[in-house]
Amino acid sequence: MSTLLGIHGVKKRYGENTVLHGLSLEVAERSVVSLVGENGAGKTTLFDVLSGLTRCDSGELLLRGTPYAPTSLQQAQAAGISRVFQEQALVSDLAVYENLLLGRDRYFYRAGFLQRRAMIQQAQQLADVAGLAFDVRQPVNRLSFSQRQTLEITRACLAPSLVEDIAHPLILLDEPTATLDLADEQWFLSLVAKLRQQASFLLVSHRLQEVLKLSDAIYVLKDGLQVAHARPDETTEAQLQQWMVGRERAADHYYQQLQHPIDEQPVAFTVAGLSHTGRYHNVNLEIRQGEILGLGGLLNSGKEALAKGIAGVVPPTRGEVSLANAPGQKPRIRKLVQQGLGYIPAERLEEGIIPPFSISWNLSLASGADRFSHISGYWYSRRERQVASDFVTRLRIRNGSALKRCDQLSGGNQQKVVLARWLYRQPRVLVLDNPTRGVDAGAKEEIYRELRQLSAQGVAILLLSDELLELIGLSHRIVILQHGEQIGEIPAPADGKPDEQTLVAMMLNTPSSPSVRSPQ
């Protein structure tokens, strides 16, 4: 196969921080090449260079054998390079068809008028080829987080060839499955398998099993350097992790030896009759002190909406929650935080952090009123910076300092800032929606250790995770939701963990209407 993209000696610095140290790699036509590495290894920066969002300081890029130096995303798209970003880049108030053709509406003007009917027909073709089974005229904000990600993937993978008639595009995939649920993840794998004969893919993923399954070649980056290059049949998941983080994966990856029985512990948090019309109905939960209760379910199961309802982010229409022995109350996030509840959302950039602000500012968001300010209005900025510095060290936030802006951090390190906000408050109850999404393998182990320590201190944790092994490995028991209803519960003691097949079979207990079908 001929080379589609050649990267030779690319270097990139931001101030005193060198992000790429003379990186070189190749992407052949009709191939899937994967980049793996810790958060901050330089993977997203390389994608920024390739997609025209930043310029490299030195080195050479060759696309189809000719020099390539884009200065904008539009130039990259015109050259046949499209991208799925780590964080979703959709306009929620626009319709599905407008988002699928975002940046390509110039192809639909006739005599100065935008031909919306033609756009809808073209978008429907994209959806049909991809196997998306929803109306392209509906607003994007009606779709689930996972469904919105299928739009991102469809736009990047199919628009270059079907709209712009580019013969062999290069698709940059930055953590494409991090926000997909189980059914949509299988859809993605099928789509890549179908398209790899007419496109090439450069994939960034922390899901090493996925990397081994999809890739023709794998490059391992560490601190902006290429430290290994292997074929998937020549390496293993354990070897990839050792190259990435400089140590072998722990035998007890989820620290299950630290999972202690909680049957005799008092109830720390109660959910009673919680309902939200059209999302979930009559949910009842009890979480004991030190317990990690897993919450599992497929797309449209209602688990994400339930987590927001429990935390009071989107209050339910009926039902109550209570911490310890306090009277039941309708969930309101402000009051629950004051009483000792913390919440880490799935959508990090939209709900977790304010990117242009510093680590210290983001960390103190939940604690300003009672930890960093005086009744006179004085702000304890020195204390704020010291707390932030301590958590930068404790959670190993790479290239971080108290005053570092969060939009200058990798996605995984941004996630650590959100976690630090609630660790500082020492909560009694913690609601976690995919807390390791977009986090590298080494950082995941650090987060798992933190969660075990919180559990040992008596913190009650409600854990949502689309990674089944993570859900199984961390939880004391797992409650399954389907269409907003509790349909069962699976014990998950340290010495008797259920397998993935058992969990999937329970999630698929009754027929459901999936959001996607197989690509046509």
Q: In what order do the strands lie in the sheet with 66-67?
A: 17-28, 3-14, 58-63, 66-67
Distance in angstroms (rounded) separating the CA atoms of residues 29 and 199 = 7
Domain boundaries, the chain: 3-245, 264-340+427-508, 349-425
The CATH superfamily of 264-340+427-508 is P-loop containing nucleotide triphosphate hydrolases (3.40.50.300)
Distance in angstroms (rounded) separating the CA atoms of residues 29 and 26 = 10
For the domain 3-245, what is the CATH code? 3.40.50.300
* Residues 459 and 483: beta-carbon distance below 8 Å: no
pLDDT value at residue 518: 47
* Residues 461 and 455: beta-carbon distance below 8 Å: yes
Q: Which residue has the tokens 């299988």?
A: 186
pLDDT value at residue 516: 42
Q: What is the pTM of this model?
A: 0.72
Distance in angstroms (rounded) separating the CA atoms of residues 497 and 520 = 38
* Residues 226 and 216: beta-carbon distance below 8 Å: no
Question: What pLDDT tens digit does each residue of the chain (520 aa) get?
Answer: 689 999 999 999 887 778 899 999 999 999 999 999 887 789 999 999 999 999 999 999 999 999 999 999 999 999 999 999 888 888 988 999 999 998 888 899 998 899 999 999 999 999 999 999 889 999 998 888 888 899 999 999 999 989 888 888 999 999 898 888 777 888 999 999 989 888 999 999 988 889 999 999 999 998 888 999 999 999 998 899 888 877 555 667 788 888 988 988 999 999 999 999 989 999 999 999 999 999 998 877 899 999 999 999 999 999 999 998 788 889 999 899 999 999 999 888 888 899 999 999 999 988 887 888 888 888 889 999 999 999 999 988 887 789 999 988 887 889 999 999 999 999 999 999 999 887 877 788 889 999 999 999 999 999 999 888 899 999 999 999 998 999 999 999 999 999 888 888 888 774 443 344 445 5
Give the pairing of strands 81-84 and 170-174.
parallel
Report angle CA 206, 207, 208 to the nearest 5 degrees: 100
Helix 441-456 × helix 237-245 angle, to 10°: 90
367 in helix, strand or coil? coil
Closest CA to 54 of 71, 79, 40: 71
343 in helix, strand or coil? strand
User: Same fold for the domain at 3-245 and the one at 264-340+427-508?
Assistant: yes
Distance in angstroms (rounded) separating the CA atoms of residues 308 and 19 = 36
Query: DSSP letter at 251?
Result: S
pLDDT value at residue 168: 87
